[in-house]
Amino acid sequence: MKKILSILLVLAVMAGTAFAGGAGEGAKKEVTIGFSLWTMKYTFFQAVEKGVRDACKELGYKYIMIDQNEDATKMVNDLNSLVGQKVTGIVITPVDPGAIGPAVQKARDAKIPVVCADIGKTGPVNALMISNNKKGGEMAMEYMDKLFKEKGIESKKVGVGRVQPQYTYASQRGDGFVAKAKELGYSVVSDLVTQPPTAEGGYDTMQQMLSANPDIAGVFFASGREAVGAANAIKAAGKSTLVVGYNGDPEEIQAMKDGIMAGDIAQQPYYIGYQSVMILKDIFAGKTYEDAVVPVDVALLTPDTVDDFQKKVDALMKK
């Protein structure tokens, strides 16, 4: 009996407030962009977020960001919640691109356009801005090949440290690297997943690679901070193995300045975020996007190019 009462209590309150809320809804007319983000814990996503926010500011859009906290189910609930408050458009950087299908469908049914900012997509999204992970891996290998030739390094042994397996989109970086290595006649002697997926994990993994192949010539780590850890391990072991990372986050830039990292594949998170909103703007303006994929190029950073890259980034992030 008590139980039933308590349930009724909750339902009653919900109904009441729902009614109250219902009254408020009709009011807002201005354009609102809802942004659902993987997490605010890592630099890359912070940059994406900044891009989206700036774009909205520029266009005078109202902006709501909800953090998925790396939880796929929460992500879906957040999306539904955004749909529920009738936002004008949705940008999403999904922690699990495979899991947005139904939610996106809901949004589209409610005439709300959805743009994915990187990672991937399922369901009827209007557009996906995605940086070219595979190409990034290939570029890393090509760059290494170039350096080997310059430095006259004979060893044909290279290694790759991948991101956690559940992030399939990012394992393409590794795939690209491995494919290109085979193509250029290198042998990938260790192909490991970095555990834990942080700098100190990169350190451990690199030590293991070095024990397995002391003469390993170069390694590619599919995530920047892991690459930094790996570079430290190489330094500590007094080796000269070349390290190339992926992302273009400040810690990598610093590592390259210190000369412990040979190169880095920079993504354009800010641009991805910013551009996603611009696509929405076009859609609002009547331009049709259906299931469009907008590849975003990645740039190779070398010790020479790193400085002005950093200037650019700082400029953007300070804006």
Q: Residue 102 or 295: which CB sits closer to other proteins? A: 102
Mask of contacts with other proteins, 5-44, x by CB under 8 A? xxx-xx--xxx-xxxxxx-xx-x-----------xxxxx-
Task: Kindly provide the b/e burial profile for residues 21-38, where b requires at least 16 CB atoms within 10 angstroms of the residue's own CB.
Answer: eeeeeeeeeebbbbbbbb
Enumerate residues 192-221 that contact other proteins by CB under 8 A.
192-193, 195-205, 207-209, 211-213
Q: Residue 19 or 60: which CB sits closer to other proteins? A: 19
Taking the C-alpha atoms of residue 242 and residue 261, their distance in angstroms, rounded to an integer, is 7
Among 69, 155, 302, 310, binds other proteins (CB under 8 A): 69
Taking the C-alpha atoms of residue 222 and residue 194, their distance in angstroms, rounded to an integer, is 9
> Please, what is the minimum distance in Å from the beta carbon of residue 24 to other proteins?
3
Enumerate residues 224-263 that contact other proteins by CB under 8 A.
225, 228-229, 232-233, 235-236, 249-251, 254, 258
Among the listed ranges 51-59, 60-68, 272-280, 297-305, the one in contact with other proteins (CB under 8 A) is 60-68
Q: By CB under 8 A, is residue 118 in contact with other proteins?
A: no
Q: Residue 139 or 206: which CB sits closer to other proteins? A: 206
Q: Residue 18 or 315: which CB sits closer to other proteins? A: 18
- DSSP of 231-296, one letter per residue? HHHHHHTT---EEEEEE--HHHHHHHHTTS--EEEE--HHHHHHHHHHHHHHHHTT---SSEEEEE
Taking the C-alpha atoms of residue 206 and residue 236, their distance in angstroms, rounded to an integer, is 11
> Please, what is the minimum distance in Å from the beta carbon of residue 147 to other proteins?
23
Number of residues in contact with other proteins, rule: CB under 8 A? 90
CA 10 to chain centre: 39
Q: Which H or E run includes 10?
A: helix 2-25
| CB-count exposure of residue 158 (10 Å: 0-12, 13-18, 19+) | buried
Of 107, 83, 104, the residue nearest 94 (C-alpha): 104
Enumerate residues 268-287 that contact other proteins by CB under 8 A.
none
Among 113, 123, 136, 174, binds other proteins (CB under 8 A): 123
Q: Residue 109 or 297: which CB sits closer to other proteins? A: 109
